[in-house]
Amino acid sequence: MGLPEDNYSKLGSYCHNLEKTNLGSVFFIQTDVDNRFKYFFMVLGPCIRGLMSSIRQLESFPCAHAIAVALHRGISAHVLCSQYYTIDYWRAAYAETIFSVPNEVEWEVPDHIAISLNILPPLVKRRAGRKSTSRIPSAGECLRCRRCGRCGATGHTQLNCSSQVPLTSSRMDRE
């Protein structure tokens, strides 16, 4: 993983090698006046070619009203849609292989990229206030589960208890 400074400085070399393995890829790295990273845009060549080979026409997809009328009359809604929305066209659009970048030791970095793209990480301002040390509980998990003083169950308190407790039993018998 390494330091952020090292990783950001390798971004230009990474893009160059990714473009070599996926021809036609487009990369754009925006930096500020101090050469600090602002944002990064990337589109891989196979994705561009797949999209351009099967551009879909928006007006060839029927609205919900047309589909409802077709289903009411017993007509399949698939007949109303353009062929560009079929599974075969979607598969053809993304059929081209995207190749991974070789190991960093095998990278070929031209001199103009190695010198000019020494990108620094962005300046990150620390948020105001005390840093949170506790984790955020997952859904359905409670940090401190409440126990009802009346029936002894968890998840509610005595004020919200709706269970019927016999009059003869005491709290000591339930525990």
Counting the structural domains of the chain, the total is 2
In this predicted structure, what is the pLDDT of residue 153? 83
Residue 133 belongs to some domain of the structure? no
Same domain, 85 and 21: yes
Same domain, 107 and 157: no
**Residue 20 and residue 101: Cα distance in Å, rounded?**
9
Same domain, 105 and 59: yes
- Give the residues across from 120 on adjacent strands: 36
In this predicted structure, what is the pLDDT of residue 161? 86
Do residues 89 and 83 make contact, with C-beta atoms less than 8 angstroms apart? Answer: yes
Residue 128 belongs to some domain of the structure? no
Residue 135 belongs to some domain of the structure? no
**Residue type present at position 32:** D
Same domain, 152 and 67: no
**Residue 21 and residue 98: Cα distance in Å, rounded?**
8
Same domain, 14 and 72: yes
In this predicted structure, what is the pLDDT of residue 60? 56
- Give pTM, 2 decimals: 0.51
What is the secondary structure of 39-60 as a DSSP string?
EEEEE-HHHHHHHHHTPPPGGG
Environment class of 21 (CB within 10 Å of its CB; exposed 0-12, middle 13-18, buried 19+)? middle
**10-residue block means of pLDDT along the chain (175 residues)?**
81 86 86 87 81 56 68 75 74 79 84 74 84 76 77 82 70 53
Same domain, 52 and 13: yes
In this predicted structure, what is the pLDDT of residue 175? 54
- Give the residues across from 42 on adjacent strands: 27
In this predicted structure, what is the pLDDT of residue 65? 65
Exposure of 123 in the CB half-sphere (CA atoms within 13 A): 5
Domain hosting 71: range is: 4-116
Residue 12 belongs to some domain of the structure? yes
Burial 88-107 (b: 16+ CB within 10 A, else e): eeeeebeebeeeebeeeeee
**Residue 151 and residue 165: Cα distance in Å, rounded?**
7
Q: Domain boundary residue among 70, 101, 116?
A: 116
In this predicted structure, what is the pLDDT of residue 95? 80
